Structure 1
Amino acid sequence: MALFACAAPQGAVPPSPHADAASSARPITLAHFDHLFAEANVGGERVGVVNIYSTAPDFAFAIEPREGYACVDDVARAIVLLAAEPQPDARRLRQIELMTRFVVRMQAENGYFHNFIWAGGRINREYRTSLSELNWWSLRALWGLEAALLRLPEGSQTAARARAAANRVVGNLKRDLPVDRRGLETVEGVQVPTWLPFGAGGDAASTAILGLVPHYQRTRDAGTRALVERLGDGLVQMQAGDARTFPHGAHLSWRNQWHGWGNAQAYALLRAGAALNRRDFTASALREVDLFYPHLLKHGMLSSFALRAKDGRIETSEVQRFPQIAYGISPMVLAATEAYRQTGQARYRDTARRLGAWLSGANDAGRPVYDPASGRVYDGINGPGSMNPDSGAESTIEGLFVLRALDGVPLP
């Protein structure tokens, strides 16, 4: 079910002469991913990692001085990417196994995960973005582990370790996100739930659901199902606007704010709705795809905004158009392709194609963000006519998510 036939959306910046925006056969190469992939030793064990930063023009690697050079957040994404391949070959299966070993190695005694490693394989246990806590990297680790279990030999030691690590972090989530928690708070006049990660983190909750749904499908654990439903209830509560009122059904990311990166609420609700037969989740997700995405395609992509209620009306503030990154496009394409998969309605396929055209040049820079010859996905658009020429792990993997989805390949 190939979906990619990238006609540029009406009103979008026309692609450059080199952008293949009308191609119906979109080549996908993992050459740059393989450039980013490396083997390392962590805790005396051979593991697989993905270099975070790759800087133009020679795409050499870099180390963030407070964090390190590789992280669970990107390695877990990479596992999902490779596990999505319909028939991964021996090389890809080996990469999945090595990266699974890395994620398992990064699990701390408390059941959550450290995120970064330094050169030499030393785990960064001190910096705030590498603490073992309920945070993005621990939630992404769960998604990656569950994806790996679809490809690892069931009786292997690595699979057993992955199952134990996934089960342990789910136990933490049941404890730290109790399903009986209730409550709303008002932020700038906007009511938001208090039982999601970070209080009102719809974005983080969507990542949690993407790991919890396959965990439930694997274990049929009633507690996991209850947690997915409670998080889904919170995401529905975070939806704002309607056909006439901005933001036209978008699910807010955190408190009264929306940002493009990681805004996978609609995609997560579609996955949860199908797995749990929750039609309200599905309906909420489709409202965002039906209303908000066409608005962006018509009026231009956004990076972030905030809402506030004043005098009985919802006002928009702090609107930012840039930067635009693959991590902001991929959640929308994943949601639109999943909507097409579940409903068979052509308008969702067309929405996905139009959103995906951002990669091939239908964007504010007027330049392709994906290079099919090298497999690089560049690190985003800084402003009109301006593109970041670097190509790091997050952009590369999220861009490849888009291409896989448009090729009709679902993520695990």
Structure 2
Amino acid sequence: MTSFTPDFRHLIRLSDDTGLFEHARHAVARRQHGYCTDDVARGLVVVSREPTPSPRLIRLSECYLTFLTHAQDRYGAFHNRLGFDRRWRDPPGLGDWWGRAMWGLGTAAARHASPWIREEALAAFVAGAGQRSSHPRAMAFAGLGAAEVLRAAPDSAVAAALLTHAADSVGPSAEDPFWPWPEPSLTYANAALAEVLVAAGELSGDRPLLDRGIRLLTWLCDVQTRLDRFSVVATAGWRRDEPRDRYDQQPIEVAALTDACATAALATGDPAWLDEVRRAADWFQGANDASAPMWDPATGGGYDGLTEHGPNLNQGAESTLALISTMQHARALP
């Protein structure tokens, strides 16, 4: 990786003709753990963002899109876990994986370089857009897919309805200025909740909603900054008025912040948000609590977590996709 150039080598290594392997031992895919819709959907997001994808990346797009349409049932819900034997391990549902599948499909429908992939992805998106999840993060992820569709097709009523419901599912902000977050704790993919408010406010012309999303994202960036570096909430989470663990930090949290800050920059035109995108990219390059690079130059893979002893050297799909996603945003920095 030169500067902030996305590196797809390890994503290709983790993919076969079925999908994207979830886990790896160092850089070697662990086939016994199979595939999951969560990661395949994230994979479709990043390959769809490439303006001039190589033939190999287009092939990945086809594979990931086929996986998602195979995972989707006739009601629009999705299976999540597929074994290496190509048998589903769970019934279709509306958990986070449904939201991420909708995000991937919406991004492909709006951005992919191949017209036929855009068309097929939109059909699958519409098939799932009538569903609603009881989980706020699942709704936020789906809302981000709806926002992608709306930017490409502003008259899409089904996408507009889904985005509105996604923003509503975030819930009201807390009244405490020291903890305005709508939940009593920070858990995972927190920035997606702020991002969907920003996107919904921008695309609907609802300035108070946009401002609310910006306030939450500003607070989230502030509480996850230490010595001018991102220090994201660890896997244990952080509950209001309780001590906060410093480790184990996950790359997906940095990627979620990057996505949200890039959306804020687009919605507001404020270049200060691009500084946050740069800080997120720097986290992967070593500007973190362990002063350690969070990717392997030999493989292009992203490390699975930041511990007090340095990186977890396993290079699974989630962390590698977080690396690629962040570098895609950073690539456009002035």
Note whether the superposition's TM-score is higher than 0.5.
yes
Give the CA deviation at 1:209: 0.8
1:107 and 2:72 aligned: yes
In structure 2, the residue corresponding to 1:237 is in which secondary structure?
A: coil
Cα offsets for 1:38-97 (capped at 9, x unmatched): 113xxxxxxxx11111112xx222246xxx411111111111101101211222222211
Letter in 1 for 2:123: A
Give the CA deviation at 1:318: 5.9
Cα distance change of structure 1 residues 205 and 379 upon mapping to structure 2, 3 Å threshold:
same
1:356 and 1:341 map into 2 onto residues whose CA distance is: 18
Q: What is the match of residue 209 of structure 1?
A: 143
Alignment of 1:149-228 (within 5 A): 149=109, 150-151=111-112, 153-154=114-115, 156=116, 161-173=120-132, 197-198=134-135, 201=136, 203-217=137-151, 218=153, 220-228=155-163
Conserved in 1, the CA contact under 8 Å of 2:191 and 2:260? Answer: no
Q: What is the match of residue 203 of structure 2?
A: 275
2:47 and 2:238 map into 1 onto residues whose CA distance is: 33
Cα distance change of structure 1 residues 387 and 153 upon mapping to structure 2, 3 Å threshold:
closer
Letter in 1 for 2:205: N
Letter in 2 for 1:54: A
Structure 1 counterpart of 2:217, from 253, 270, 289: 289
Letter in 1 for 2:127: R
Structure 2 counterpart of 1:136, from 73, 82, 96: 96
Which structure features the higher share of helix residues? Answer: 2
Cα distance change of structure 1 residues 228 and 337 upon mapping to structure 2, 3 Å threshold:
closer
Could you tell me which runs of 5 or more consecutive residues in structure 2 were left unpaired when the two chains were aligned.
none
Cα offsets for 1:116-162 (capped at 9, x unmatched): 2112322223xxxxx311111111111112222242754x4x66553
In structure 1, the residue corresponding to 2:244 is in which secondary structure?
A: strand
Give the CA deviation at 1:234: 3.7
Q: What is the match of residue 305 of structure 1?
A: 238
Letter in 2 for 1:142: M
Give the CA deviation at 1:271: 2.1
Could you tell me which runs of 5 or more consecutive residues in structure 1 were left unpaired when the two chains were aligned.
1-19, 41-48, 126-130, 178-196, 308-315
Aligned length: 326
Letter in 2 for 1:36: L
Conserved in 2, the CA contact under 8 Å of 1:97 and 1:152? Answer: no
Larger Rg computed on CA atoms: 1
2:264 and 2:169 map into 1 onto residues whose CA distance is: 20
Identity %: 24
Conserved in 1, the CA contact under 8 Å of 2:194 and 2:260? Answer: yes
Q: What is the match of residue 147 of structure 1?
A: 107
In structure 2, the residue corresponding to 1:387 is in which secondary structure?
A: strand
Q: What is the match of residue 52 of structure 1?
A: 22
The RMSD of aligned alpha carbons is 2.6
Cα distance change of structure 1 residues 29 and 223 upon mapping to structure 2, 3 Å threshold:
closer
Q: What is the match of residue 233 of structure 1?
A: 168
Letter in 1 for 2:238: F
Cα distance change of structure 1 residues 292 and 162 upon mapping to structure 2, 3 Å threshold:
closer
1:349 and 1:88 map into 2 onto residues whose CA distance is: 24
Q: What is the match of residue 291 of structure 2?
A: 366
1:350 and 1:152 map into 2 onto residues whose CA distance is: 28
Alignment of 1:327-406 (within 5 A): 327-382=252-307, 384-406=308-330
Conserved in 1, the CA contact under 8 Å of 2:238 and 2:244? Answer: yes
In structure 2, the residue corresponding to 1:330 is in which secondary structure?
A: helix
Letter in 1 for 2:323: G
Which structure features the higher share of strand residues? Answer: 1
Cα distance change of structure 1 residues 392 and 222 upon mapping to structure 2, 3 Å threshold:
same
1:347 and 1:162 map into 2 onto residues whose CA distance is: 34
Conserved in 1, the CA contact under 8 Å of 2:250 and 2:304? Answer: yes
Cα distance change of structure 1 residues 262 and 151 upon mapping to structure 2, 3 Å threshold:
same
Cα distance change of structure 1 residues 113 and 398 upon mapping to structure 2, 3 Å threshold:
same
1:354 and 1:214 map into 2 onto residues whose CA distance is: 24
Cα distance change of structure 1 residues 163 and 332 upon mapping to structure 2, 3 Å threshold:
closer
- Structure ranking higher on relative contact order (CA contacts 8 Å, 6+ apart): 1
In structure 1, the residue corresponding to 2:126 is in which secondary structure?
A: helix
In structure 1, the residue corresponding to 2:78 is in which secondary structure?
A: coil
Give the CA deviation at 1:112: 0.6
Conserved in 2, the CA contact under 8 Å of 1:305 and 1:320? Answer: yes
Structure 2 counterpart of 1:259, from 182, 187, 199: 187
Give the CA deviation at 1:223: 5.0
1:152 and 1:350 map into 2 onto residues whose CA distance is: 28
Q: TM-score scaled by structure 1?
A: 0.72
